[in-house]
Structure 1
Amino acid sequence: MSLRPVVCAWVAGLSALAAACAPSLDWREVRPDEAGLMMLMPCKPEQRTRQLVLVGRPVQMRVLGCTADGTTWGLSTADLADPALVGPALAELRAARRLNLDGTETAVKAAQVGGMTPQAQAVRFSLAGKLPDGTSLTDQSLLFAHGTRVFHAAALGGKPSAQELETFFDGLKLQK
């Protein structure tokens, strides 16, 4: 099975949302539907739902995103309903991101989101990649889980500062 559709759906969903967002950072608290999560977004996000295959099963993935200052900021989430699929799904999302961005991981560390379900595959990573037209870009991603729900938060492209990235990733808080 090709992993390309997973990330293509994510990138396509965020690209479709990008036009609706303002070009400057205007941080706001966002609570994505059904995700049990509070987060900070630097622009007003739009939400879409995509059907895709993840770990061999059809899933409904919610994609929330916007673009500001050349960076597309987003969160995708799906409930797998089976705890045994969570680790493999996180690994598949990571591999798909590398493949679709023709990327090389430049940094990897364990994910840290308060309240997350511990998973060996929960990581924060950076990629140096390319768009289909050959344009170079960077990607900062965070993969984690809560129960049977998987999350992928990302800052794609542009040149976000270290402080902006920390605000975005540290702003992810699971609700009890």
Structure 2
Amino acid sequence: MRSAALPLLVLALSACSPSLDWREVRLAEAGALALFPCKPELSSHAPTPAEPARMGLAQCKAAGFSFALSWAELPDPSRVEPALQQMREALASKLQARAEAPRPLQVPGMTPNPQALTQRLAGGEQHAQLAVFARGPVVYQALMLGPRYNDTAWDSFAGSLRLAP
């Protein structure tokens, strides 16, 4: 019995993708915490007259998928709800994607908003899983993009999102 179980255990352990090396990343500028399956590159932009929002992006690629968390601090808090909707619509348009019905989203530390949603998009050779949410005037978009859906990786990434108090 033991000798039969050993190959099954080895097979089960090898099914865990070594290319997804999950690590906790604290994004101080964004006030966020997330698990990424690779070391993300960070970039940020200070407000300018042409773009009055403070913005940032953490992104990396692993196992054929791109993972990203972007954020922008809007100068007008009344623009948060429309911005969340526009973020989802802009990605669907860019990918020329068929969008599944969005589902409500809860991220610890977020400000409740009816446009805080998670959604799957299928466009040609690209499949996206995204979440949009906000805290105060800061809007966030978490995104996983790849050749197919990967619900396990998405659940690890999106389920890890936290906003610092």
TM-score, length-scaled by structure 1: 0.76
Is the 8 Å Cα contact of residues 119 and 129 (structure 2) preserved in structure 1? Answer: yes
Q: Secondary structure at the match of 1:167?
A: helix
Query: Once the 2 structures are TM-superposed, how far is the Cα of residue 50 of structure 1 from its aligned partner?
Result: 5.2
Given the alignment of the two structures, is residue 82 of structure 1 paired with residue 82 of structure 2, yes or no? no
| Counterparts of 1:126 and 1:43, CA distance in 2 | 22
Which has the higher Rg, Structure 1 or Structure 2? Answer: 2
1:48 to 43, 51, 61: 43
Q: How does 1:29-40 map to 2 (within 5 A)?
A: 29-40=24-35
Give the aligned partner of residue 16 of structure 1: none
Stretches of structure 2 lacking an aligned partner (at least 5 in a row): 1-17
Q: Secondary structure at the match of 1:100?
A: helix
Between the aligned residues of both structures, percent identity stands at 40
Say what the alpha-carbon RMSD is for the aligned residues.
2.2
| Counterparts of 1:51 and 1:174, CA distance in 2 | 20
| Counterparts of 2:148 and 2:45, CA distance in 1 | 28
Give the aligned partner of residue 163 of structure 2: 174
Deviations 1:16-51 (A, max 9, x none): xxxxxxx81110111113211111000000012358
Q: Give the stretch that moved more between structures: 37-46 or 156-165.
A: 156-165
Q: Secondary structure at the match of 1:113?
A: coil
TM-score, length-scaled by structure 2: 0.81
What is the count of residue pairs matched by the alignment? 147
Stretches of structure 1 lacking an aligned partner (at least 5 in a row): 1-22, 131-135
Given the alignment of the two structures, is residue 165 of structure 1 paired with residue 159 of structure 2, yes or no? no
Deviations 1:106-125 (A, max 9, x none): 24101111121111111100
Given the alignment of the two structures, is residue 111 of structure 1 paired with residue 111 of structure 2, yes or no? no
Q: How does 1:1-176 map to 2 (within 5 A)?
A: 24-49=19-44, 58-130=52-124, 136-159=125-148, 161-176=150-165
